[in-house]
Amino acid sequence: MEEALARRRFAGARVARLATAGGNGVPHLVPVTFALDGDRILLAVDHKPKTTTDLRRIRDIRENPRVCALVDHYDDDWATLWWVRADGEATVTEGPAGPAVALLAAKYPQYGERPPAGPMITIEITRWSSWSYSGD
């Protein structure tokens, strides 16, 4: 898939899967909401219910900043299948950054009503990869 199309599909996805691994190398995969800002993926820890505020993804990133995020489209018509993956280096900052929250709120109305107040994850993308059944 052409990189420009891959980026558009990634940016337009409503959810991504974030893969992390801590210092012990054990993988961890969670669905996340996000905004794409050039070659950066922005994520915030928001108000949705969680079993703890000591999130494994945050601990993993602090131990090992190498992560990847995946978006995909599945349909029983396999000719429409595709996926896009962004590999990168993540950092965690305490409290959301204004411009990042604005980008998230533009994509998700729920954030406009209740902005995220938790830590912010920023992923600097180092590699894009993608695939589509139709080869577009």
Query: Pick from 98, 73, 95: which is nearest to 84 by CA?
Result: 73
pTM: 0.92
- Contact indicator for 100, 35 with CB cutoff of 8 Å: yes
Least confident of 64-78, 99-113, 119-133: 99-113
Helix-then-strand count for the chain, H and E: 4, 7
The shares of helix, strand and coil residues in the chain, as percent rounded to the nearest 5, are 25, 40, 35
Domains of the chain: 3-132 (2.30.110.10)
Local structure of 90: helix, strand or coil: strand
- Residue 21 above 70 pLDDT? yes
Residue 135 has pLDDT above 90, yes or no: no
